[in-house]
Amino acid sequence: MVENPTVGFTTTAVEIIGADPYSPQIVLRSEAVPSPVWTVGMDFNRGFSIIRNGNNVLTATTGDLIGIGTNAPTAKLSVNGTANNSTGSWGVFSDARIKTEQREFTDGLNVIDRLRPVVFTYNADAPFEAEGEQVGIIAQELEELAPYMVSTTEHGDITDLREVNNQAYVFLLINAVKELKAENDRLKVDSRAQQELIETNTRLLQELKAVLEVKAER
């Protein structure tokens, strides 16, 4: 129950000012059914949150960051869990008219070959709750190979929490495939050259054999 609330009405909105100076919230529940309990309102960081049975559903921070399943988003949209896109695709602006190309991106097998995928679990210092084993890369190790894929943000006492730009893996793999194709093409050329050499040597041996047979008959 909210004690001593201030309620105001305008032609476009209803304003509820809670008595709690730290986290004024509205709790929605049914007396007949104990669950679920929804809590909607400001959190202790002065952001906005939606909570169901004590579990974070959505958080909007004062820095305009949105968190789904986490109360500590570190990007414009942070999702703790799996985000599905079943009928479309994720897109980024890639028009040449809005880009200033700086240089060719050449990394490929040189990075891919040195990556060390690991199985891990998130610990208590993580900015979200995640159960079960995960598969991924250690950002500090990746930073030594591809620093452009790693950025830092702040969370709690960690002032340089590392995040990985997974989109760059696509372009690493593109270059890796191109390198493998080029190597395969070279091997094909070498193989054809070797085959031609074998055929030439075989023909010369046959010609030499024929000459020797003629001389033997004489």
Please tell me what DSSP assigns to residue 213.
Answer: H
Choose one of 63, 79, 95: the last residue of a domain.
79
SS3 54: coil
90-130 per-position pLDDT tens digit:
788 889 998 998 899 999 999 999 999 999 998 888 877 77
Choice among 6-15, 39-48, 67-76 with the minimum mean pLDDT: 6-15
30-60 per-position pLDDT tens digit:
888 878 888 888 876 778 888 888 888 898 9
Q: DSSP for 170-192? A: HHHHHHHHHHHHHHHHHHHHHHH
Taking the C-alpha atoms of residue 210 and residue 216, their distance in angstroms, rounded to an integer, is: 10
Residue 136, beta-bridge partner list: 118
Q: What was the pLDDT predicted at 11?
A: 56
Kindly indicate the confidence band of residue 211, based on its pLDDT and cuts at 50, 70 and 90: confident
Taking the C-alpha atoms of residue 43 and residue 39, their distance in angstroms, rounded to an integer, is: 10
Mean pLDDT of 10-26: 64
Alpha-helical regions (H) of the chain = 109-112, 139-145, 168-217
Share of the chain above pLDDT 70, in %: 88
- pLDDT averaged over every residue in the chain: 85
Query: Do residue 135 and residue 188 come from a single domain?
Result: yes
Identify each DSSP E strand in the chain by its residue range. 6-9, 14-17, 25-28, 38-42, 48-52, 55-60, 66-68, 77-79, 118-120, 134-136, 150-155, 158-164
Domain count within the chain: 2
The whole model's pTM is what? 0.66
- Token pair 């891990």 is found at 120
The reply to whether 145 falls in a domain is yes
- What letter represents residue 136's amino acid? G
Tell me the two tokens of residue 71: 């109360």
The reply to whether 195 falls in a domain is yes
Query: Domain of 10?
Result: 6-79
Query: Do residue 127 and residue 72 come from a single domain?
Result: no
Does position 140 have pLDDT exceeding 90, yes or no?
yes
Share of the chain above pLDDT 90, in %: 37
The reply to whether 89 falls in a domain is no
Q: What was the pLDDT predicted at 1?
A: 47
